[in-house]
A and B are shown apart, each in its own frame.
Chain A
Amino acid sequence: MTYQWDFSPILARWPMLLDGLFNTVKIAVIAIILGVMVGLVLALLRLSPRRYLRLPSSVFVEFYRNTPPIVHFFWFFYALPVVLNISLDPLIAAVLALSTQSGAFYAEVFRGGIQSIERGQWEGAKALGMSHAQLMRRIILPQAATRMFAPFVERSFELVKTTALASTLAYGELLYRAMMVNSETFRPLEVYTTVALLYLVLLVSCSGLARLAEARLTAYR
Chain B
Amino acid sequence: MQAETLSMPEPTRPAPILQVSGLHKWFGALHVLRGIDFSVEAGERIAIIGGSGSGKSTFLRCLNFMETPSSGRIALDGTPLGRTTAGKPDEVRYPESELCRVRERVGMVFQQFNLFPHMTVLENAMEGLVTVKRMKKGQARERALRELHKVGLGEKTDVYPGRLSGGQQQRVAIARALAMEPEILLFDEPTSSLDPELVGEVLRVIRQLAEEGRTMLLVTHELGFAYHFATKVIFLADGVFHEVGTPDEVLKHPGQERTRAFLDRFTEFSF
| Residues of A in contact with B (beta carbons under 8 Å apart) | 120-121, 123-132, 134, 138-139, 142-143, 146, 220-221
Contacts and interface: CB of A to CB of B under 8 A. Distances in A.
Specify which of A127, A130, A139, A142 lies most central, judged by the most chain B CB atoms within 10 Å of its CB: A127
29 contacts: A121-B116, A123-B66, A123-B110, A124-B113, A124-B114, A124-B115, A125-B116, A126-B103, A127-B103, A127-B108, A127-B110, A127-B114, A128-B127, A128-B176, A129-B103, A129-B180, A130-B100, A130-B132, A131-B96, A131-B100, A132-B96, A138-B127, A138-B131, A143-B116, A143-B118, A146-B118, A220-B160, A221-B117, A221-B162
B106 to A, nearest CB: 9
B166 interface: no
A143 B180 contact: no
B128 to A, nearest CB: 4
Contacts, number: 69
B64 interface: yes
Given A127-B114, A130-B131, A132-B96, 4 more contacts: A124-B116, A127-B108, A129-B103, A146-B118
B131 A121 contact: no
Contacts of A121: 114, 116
Contacts of A132: 96
B101 interface: yes
A96 to B, nearest CB: 36
Given A123-B110, A138-B127, A128 B132 contact: yes
B39 interface: no
B104 interface: yes
A143 B173 CA distance: 18
